[in-house]
Each structure stands twice: as C-alpha cells, then as structure tokens.
DNA sequence: CATCGGACCTGTTAGC
DNA sequence: TGCTAACAGGTCCGAT
C-alpha cells in the first residue's frame, strides 16, 4: 500500500499527535510481522517522550532520548491516531498509548511491515545501504546515469531498487517513467544521461505532486487523519491497462517486469 | 557484482 | 453459491 508519498502523508498526519507526548504504554498483540517484534520494543518505548517523527525512505523513525522506533508499513500496513473507545479491528497488531489519552494504532493484514528498536544515534542494517532520497540535491540525472552503467535490468526495476534511490514503488515507477517519456522495458544501461535528467525530475515531481494531495488511495490507504489520498485521479497509466492514454488515446499497455505489473503508453514512451 | 525467483501473509475479485 | 486462481501499494535473501 504505501510508497513514499503515503508514508510521508502518514508521517505528517501522526506527527502533531506524537511530538512532545509521553508514551504511557505499548501493547503488541501480534508479534509476527515481517520479523518478530522484539519485546524490547515495548519496554524501551514505554515512558519515553517523543522528540520527533522522521522518515527515511519508506521507514518512519520515532525518536526518543532512549532510542528510536523504526517502523515499516510493508504492503498493507497503516498507522492511525484513535481514541481508546475505538473498537479493535482484525489485524490491529500494535497500540502505542500516549499521555494525551490517544493511541497510535498499527494495522496490517498481510504483516509485511516491521518494528525495530534502535539504540540512541545508532543505525540499522536495514538503513545502511539505502540510496539517496529523491529530494536530495545529489540525486540527479548524472547520478542515475552513472549508477546505471552496464546494467541490463529494465529501467523500471532499476529505479525501484532502494539501493539506487529510495521511495519509488510500483505505482510511481510507472507514473514517473510516463512523465519522462521512457519505455519501462528499456535496459537501465541504455538510457542516455539527458533522459535520466528528465527521469530524476519526473520522479521528484510525481512524488511531490502525490504528497501534496495526500498520496494515492487505491483500495484502503488513509492518512493519519483518516483522509484518503487523491492522487488516484491523476494517475496517467497505473492500473489503466487497455484504457486510452490520456495524452494520445493509444491503449495503455500492461506488462510484467520484475514480477510486478507495469503500465505504459507505447506511443508516448520510447 | 548483477540478476532472478521465491519467500513472507491476508483479502478481494474474477472466472468457472 | 462455492471453489480456485490471480492479484495487490514491499523488499529481503539465497541461488546462479
């Protein structure tokens, strides 16, 4: 469910409810997420004051003086601020209760998400090899071109690799390639530096536009404030197989790359 | 090193 | 109606 814009939307939605609040209790009802949630997670975060809620790639990082919670929403995870009277739903796996009387509640049917506890100022193997953020100044066409040298994978699979650039998931990979006019099947190593400049800009603009409207709600994404994201209305190709291209009317094609559905316009993308 | 397939899960929908 | 198969927003890991 969540790509970078949805994670950032979640961060913005929950941050005002968390910062400067004290965690009064943490309850893990289902420990079997992608990796078992360690007991140290609850014992460490309980009693702590939350100083900041940050995002790195698709991870959320909740900082306290005693360390940080490292959260990933996986494919189907979501975080909502709820009241104690809100009935528990199936797959509500974790509650983090706050001294405001409210609760940060984690819901994740597929359990591909994760929760770790980081000691203060320490990193984590999951974070160590991540590529640049799309909005970093050092992420540009020259960077992509350099990293793509000699690579034979499709440019779509290439930009979805978090070691190259973070935050580009399956929706926005197709959308950014459409904006840049690049055929997603093309080998990464055979894209010119000029076209990588367009692609770097397209990734930024696509993600930025999506963040502005609260992400994309395809099925069940809601931000921390309970609002759906409205980027769905702006999707040019994603999940539009056989429908006419919004630019040239050519039917949008669906292919599979790296075992993921991929959408593009054969006319507009070369 | 780069690439590929499989793995982890449940829920929804399309097709018979 | 019921069953089955395909598919879904992520990404790690091991084999090649």
Q: Measured between alpha carbons, how far is A75 from A180 in angstroms, rounded to an integer?
A: 26
* Catalytic position from the list A31, A34, A246, A260: A260
- Please tell me the pTM assigned to this model: 0.96
Own/partner pairs, A232-239, CB within 8 angstroms, 24+ separation: A234/A209, A234/A210, A235/A171, A235/A175, A236/A175, A236/A178, A236/A179, A236/A265, A237/A174, A237/A175, A237/A178, A237/A263, A237/A264, A237/A265, A238/A170, A238/A171, A238/A174, A238/A175, A238/A263, A239/A263
Longest Cα–Cα distance of chain A, Å, equals 58
B11 C1' closest Cα residue: A109
Q: Is the pLDDT of residue A224 over 70?
A: no
Give the distance, in angstroms, between residue A241 CA and nucleotide C2 C1': 30
Tens digits of per-residue pLDDT, A128-184? 999 999 999 999 999 999 999 999 999 999 999 999 999 999 999 999 999 999 999
Residue A224 tokens, joined: 């921390």
In this prediction, residue A1 has a pLDDT band, given cuts at 50, 70 and 90, of low
CB-CB contact of A55 with A10 (8 Å):
no
Residue A155 tokens, joined: 């440019």
Q: What is the pLDDT of residue A223?
A: 74
Give the distance, in angstroms, between residue A223 CA and nucleotide B2 C1': 37
Question: Chain-wide mean pLDDT for chain A?
Answer: 95
Tens digits of per-residue pLDDT, A196-205? 999 999 999 9
Q: Which chain B positions have some atom within 7 A of a protein CB?
A: 2-11
**DSSP string spanning A59-100?**
EEEEEETTEEEEEE-TTT-EEEEE-TTSPPPTTEEEEEEETT
Which residues of chain A between 129 and 188 are close to nucleic strand B, CB under 7 A? 150-153, 157-158, 188
Q: Is A58 a catalytic residue?
A: yes
Q: Measured between alpha carbons, how far is A87 from A8 in angstroms, rounded to an integer?
A: 26
Report residue A21 CA to chain centroid gap: 25
Percent of chain A with pLDDT over 70: 99
Is the minimum distance from the CB of A111 to strand B below 7 Å? yes
């Amino acid at each position: 469910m969540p790509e970078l814009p949805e994670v950032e939307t979640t961060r913005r939605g929950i941050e005002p409810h968390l910062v400067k609040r004290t965690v009064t209790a943490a309850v893990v009802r289902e420990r079997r997420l992608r990796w078992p949630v360690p007991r140290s997670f609850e014992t460490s975060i309980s009693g702590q004051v939350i100083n900041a809620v940050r995002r790195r790639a698709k991870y959320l990082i909740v900082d306290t003086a005693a360390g940080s919670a490292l959260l990933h929403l996986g494919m189907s995870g979501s975080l909502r601020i709820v009241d104690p009277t809100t009935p528990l739903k199936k797959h509500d796996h974790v509650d983090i209760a706050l001294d405001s009387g409210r609760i940060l509640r984690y819901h994740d049917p597929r359990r591909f998400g994760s929760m770790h506890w980081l000691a203060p100022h320490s990193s984590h193997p999951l974070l160590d090899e991540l590529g640049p953020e799309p909005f970093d100044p050092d992420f540009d066409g020259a960077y992509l071109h350099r990293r793509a040298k000699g690579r034979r994978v499709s440019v779509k699979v290439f930009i979805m690799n978090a070691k190259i650039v973070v935050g580009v998931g399956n929706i926005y990979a197709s959308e950014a390639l459409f904006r840049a006019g690049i055929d997603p099947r093309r080998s990464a190593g055979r894209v010119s530096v000029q076209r990588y400049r367009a692609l770097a800009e397209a990734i930024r603009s696509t993600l930025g536009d999506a963040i502005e409207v609260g992400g994309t709600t395809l099925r069940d994404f809601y931000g921390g404030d309970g609002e759906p994201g409205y980027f769905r209305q702006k999707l040019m190709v994603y999940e539009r197989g056989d429908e006419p291209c919004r630019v040239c009317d050519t039917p949008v094609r669906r292919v599979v790359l790296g075992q993921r559905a991929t959408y593009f316009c054969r006319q507009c993308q070369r």
